Amino acid sequence: MNVTIDKFSGFCWGVVRTVQIAEDQLAETRANRNVYVLGNIIHNPKEIERLESKGLRTISVDDFPRLANSGAKVIIRAHGEPPATYRKAWENGIEIVDATCPVVTKLQERVRKFWDQGYQIVIFGKHDHAEVLGVRGVVQDQCVVVTSVEEAMNNVALNRKTVLFSQTTMDRPTFVAVRDTLKTRISELVVDTLEDIATEFHAKDTICGQVSGRESQLAKFAAQNDVILFVAGHASSNGKVLYNVAKAANPRTYFIERAEEIDPEWLRDVTSVGISGATSTPQWYMEEVRELIVTNYE
């Protein structure tokens, strides 16, 4: 059995940056100065467990009063936070270490700019996703969040000047469908292009290029193997998007969060297995999955 790992899978640079910030803070922090992160640092339980073993603790904003003036450091994860979180930290004397992905920071800035100009803000994304919660907070929740063309048609005011953004990890085909539908019905529609950072991030819109840019390559990789094991956290939005890309190219694609979920029947009479993952899937864990297959199923 030939078992290969998709060379384009694994952490995106934004996740690499966030994890490195967490590790640096853990290394620098004295024993009496705890390091915390607001919510799961990334949507992958194996990487969370690894960082927790080094001393990282996961909290919520509700824990701020308990940590008030204790000298604690609190990391803002890659998904970002609304302005209210920073105010609460300041009120409680908590030091913030901001590890928000720069693409998410730029998204928040652009949303605020158009909101200040009186535009109706439409976000293609998941209403309660951490990244969208941050964007909603920037505009005091005065925005419309949609996940489909139908929701856009039912919930977006068609007689207002409007700007369309996307959560950075959503799927491009549905975004394009929402965009094209609104274009035919709203006379003044802006689809934000992040032009001022296009050179740096290769961005055509606010969908992260490190998600959408992998789609064609992932489909090719999936088609080249008998079976695909897609390794990602169940809470990972980009994991779900990329898994569906692989599944469309190869029906024998299976989503696993942990190696223990592998069904031996998936690998019966198989000559090639491909392993891929989300932008929040650590390379070291995909290597562990490969080793388990090679050791137990060949």
Half-sphere exposure of 292 (CA within 13 A, CB side): 16
Residue with tokens 């996940």: 147
Whether residue 202 sits in one domain with residue 121: yes
Whether residue 224 sits in one domain with residue 182: no
Instruction: Assess contact for 48 and 22: CB atoms under 8 A.
Output: no
Q: For residue 271, how many other CB atoms are within 10 A of its CB?
A: 9
Per residue of the chain (298 residues), give pLDDT as tens.
899 999 989 887 788 889 999 999 988 865 546 899 999 998 899 999 999 999 999 999 999 999 998 888 999 998 899 999 999 999 999 999 999 988 889 889 999 999 999 999 999 999 998 889 999 999 999 999 999 999 999 999 999 999 999 887 787 888 889 999 999 999 999 987 544 433 343 334 445 555 556 788 999 999 999 999 999 999 888 888 899 999 999 999 999 999 999 999 999 999 999 999 998 899 999 999 999 999 987 6
Whether residue 144 sits in one domain with residue 159: yes
> What angle do the packed helices 13-28 and 45-53 form, to 10 degrees?
20
CA distance 18 to 41: 8
Whose CA is closest to 290, among 259, 269, 261? Answer: 259
Whether residue 53 sits in one domain with residue 6: no
Whether residue 69 sits in one domain with residue 28: yes
pLDDT at residue 207 in the model: 52
Q: For residue 140, how many other CB atoms are within 10 A of its CB?
A: 11
Taking only the tens place, the pLDDT of each residue in 37-49 is: 999 998 899 999 9
Bridge-based pairing of strands 272-277 and 227-231 is parallel
Domain count, the chain: 3
Q: For residue 180, how many other CB atoms are within 10 A of its CB?
A: 11
Cα→Cα distances 226→121, 246, 286, Å:
44, 12, 18
Residue type, 211: V
**Within 162-282, where are the H helices?**
172-183, 198-201, 209-212, 215-223, 237-249
pLDDT at residue 208 in the model: 56
Whether residue 253 sits in one domain with residue 196: no
Whether residue 221 sits in one domain with residue 199: no
Whether residue 85 sits in one domain with residue 66: yes
CATH number at residue 108: 3.40.1010.20
Q: Which of 47, 81, 131, 215 is catalytic?
A: 131
> Last residue of a domain, which of 180, 206, 232?
206
Whose CA is closest to 116, among 175, 179, 163? Answer: 163
Whether residue 150 sits in one domain with residue 187: yes
Q: What is the strand order of the sheet 120-124 is part of?
A: 144-146, 120-124, 162-166, 189-191
Residues 6+ apart with CB under 8 A from 44: 232, 233, 236, 278, 280, 281, 282, 285
Q: Per the confidence metrics, is the pTM higher than 0.75?
A: yes
Whether residue 275 sits in one domain with residue 200: no
Whether residue 181 sits in one domain with residue 111: yes
CA distance 9 to 246: 12
Instruction: Assess contact for 178 and 153: CB atoms under 8 A.
Output: no
Whether residue 216 sits in one domain with residue 198: no
CATH number at residue 87: 3.40.50.11270
Q: Which domain holds residue 119?
A: 103-206
Taking only the tens place, the pLDDT of each residue in 4-17 is: 999 989 887 788 88
> Last residue of a domain, which of 206, 229, 248?
206
Backbone dihedral angles phi then psi of residue 210, each to the nearest 5 degrees: -80, -5
pLDDT at residue 195 in the model: 42
Say how far residue 64 (Cα) sits from the centre of its chain. Answer: 25
Instruction: Assess contact for 73 and 95: CB atoms under 8 A.
Output: yes
Instruction: Assess contact for 126 and 174: CB atoms under 8 A.
Output: no
> Last residue of a domain, which of 155, 173, 206?
206
Instruction: Assess contact for 146 and 155: CB atoms under 8 A.
Output: yes
Residue 131 appears among annotated catalytic residues: yes
